[in-house]
Amino acid sequence: MGKFEVLDHPLIQHKLTIIREKNCGTKVFREMVNEISTLMAYEVSRDMPLKDIEIETPIAKSTQKTLAGKKVAIVPILRAGLGMVDGFLNMIPAAKVGHVGMYRDEKTLKPVEYFVKLPSDISQRQLFVVDPMLATGGSAIMAMDMLKKRGASNIKFMCLVAAPEGVKALRDAHPDIDVYTAALDDHLNEDGYIVPGLGDAGDRLFGTK
């Protein structure tokens, strides 16, 4: 079974509280999502493998560590996942970026896919799929199905706010995937929104409501 971790570093919790506030405007919302994503990237990359290399400092020859693992790609689920890309790239700047476009039908709450563009070698990459919200889990599950169908096998999912319903659904559907969230909230309401949550992440990031 993949990991499930709530990344509750005090800085992450503090910044998340700022964006949960309904009066937080687009500018600060974007900045905080960016900063939280950087902090989360630092945490989720903890188990990246290292290897020894020989280097020469100005003083002496020396054996030191360098990253040894697979190459990395970040895959935001559009639109809201876009808000997490730059923050993540602050920590792992050489990562490739793939895009998966999906929206949730407001009535059925089922995801509808509308765009896919991925690095050609995703089967050889460590993928970090990012989306601020994990609600019913439908969008994340569909994204994983789609990535696995195209050959991806090494996938981690990162979100800011998760509902217990979505965590269970995602882990039941894709038990191999590590799931990281900044917060595990209480429940989903009758409209499929996370409670207390932060509202519609895409609309708040892009100012569309």
Ligand X SMILES: O=P(O)(O)OC[C@H]1O[C@H](OP(=O)(O)OP(=O)(O)O)[C@H](O)[C@@H]1O
Ligand Y SMILES: O=c1cc[nH]c(=O)[nH]1
Catalytic residues: 104, 108, 200, 203
Shortest Cβ 131–ligand X spacing (Å)? 5
Site for ligand X in 37-76 (CB under 6 A): none
Beta partners for residue 5, in sequence order? 180
Number of residues that bind ligand X (CB under 6 A): 23
Of the candidates 16, 85, 89, 133, which one interacts with ligand X according to CB under 6 A?
133
Between residues 7 and 135, which has the closer beta carbon with respect to ligand X?
Answer: 135
* Annotated binding residue 137: yes
How far apart (Å, rounded) are the C-alpha atoms in residues 132 and 197? 10
| Other C-beta atoms lying within 10 Å of the C-beta of residue 14 | 11
Distant-in-sequence, close-in-space partners of 116: CB < 8 Å, separation ≥ 6:
98, 99, 100, 101, 146
Site for ligand Y in 125-144 (CB under 6 A): 133, 135
| Burial annotation 80-97 (CB, 10 A radius, 16+ → b, else e) | bbbbbbebbbebbeebbb
Between residues 92 and 133, which has the closer beta carbon with respect to ligand X?
Answer: 133
Binding-site positions for 5-phospho-alpha-D-ribose 1-diphosphate: 79, 104, 131-139, 200
